[in-house]
Amino acid sequence: MRASKVEAKVKKMGRRRVHLRAPAKVNLRLEVLGRHEDGYHFLRTWIYPVSLWDELVLERTAGEVELQCDHPEVPKEDLSVKAARAFLREFGVEAGVRIYLRKRIPVGAGLGGGSSDAAATLRGMEVLFGLEVGQGKLREVARRLGADVPFFLWGEASLMGGIGDEQIKALPKLGIWLVLVFPGRPLSTAEVYRRFDARLTSSRGQNKILAELPPKRWEDFLYNALEGPAKEILPLIDDIERRLLREGAEVASMSGSGPTVFGIFRSEEEARRACERLKTPDWQVFIVKPL
């Protein structure tokens, strides 16, 4: 679409400001099936968005793409900024965007906060500039930004394949509560995968698709191939899992490449009691529901 036509459509349909929420995610199960020659890993992972959100406001400007964030650890070249620039470049929009980001998902926690912010930015840019670019084209942009970004564009619980960017099927709603514990110490995803590769082992369960969710026994379903390597770097992950179990969780596991650990609870009351007892000055603890 030529720039003049884009500008005309923006005047007719665009908005000055768009408000969005970007959810965190939890990997209930993560299998690493192999490694491509380019370094990417083939995954199969059961992912749920959860009720912990970042909040974004996108505002059209006449300048560049810029970010204002309330979290000091979020860089100015955040993934949401890269998403906005990629959208403008891909669809020929000559304009600026100011992004206001209220950060509630911990940084570097394995909860997909940066990827979710990027996906929300892509959706918001489409509304902000009054364009209907189509989900196919938007997903192409999302894949170039990061493997988790397409999942957040779908916006639904999904079994994901490929490098984590291909939806195999949607997953059902779950009537459970999760307590998330982030120990305040981010892990390097690259280092976790390097340690996984050094083990020369493959992920269990890679030759079968498990039964439909929810399972009869959560302990038979939960699995994270990256948990062992992550615990080598940060043994505290193991301590948090044990604490969650002592506080009444049915099962506990790590999400993504860590270090956030989640426990599954059957009732909100049990989850809230555990949440209160687990809070420390160093740990961030959240009670959430799968969406």
DSSP string computed for 146-166: -TTHHHHHHTS-EEEETTTTE
208 among known catalytic residues: no
C-beta separation of 20 from 58 below 8 A: yes
Residue 91 in 3-state DSSP?
coil
Question: In the 8-state DSSP scheme, what is residue 120?
Answer: H
Q: Which residues contact 134 (CB under 8 A, 6 or more apart)?
A: none
CA distance 81 to 64: 10
Interaxial angle between packed helices 135-145 and 79-90, expressed in degrees from 0 to 180 and rounded to the nearest 10: 130
282 among known catalytic residues: no
Q: How many residues does the chain have?
A: 291
Q: Active site residue: 25, 117, 165, 231, which one?
A: 25
Q: Active site residue: 78, 117, 148, 165, which one?
A: 148
CA distance 112 to 105: 8
Please list the alpha-helical segments (H only) found in the chain.
Answer: 3-13, 79-90, 113-128, 135-145, 149-154, 189-198, 218-221, 227-233, 236-246, 268-278
Catalytic positions: 25, 148
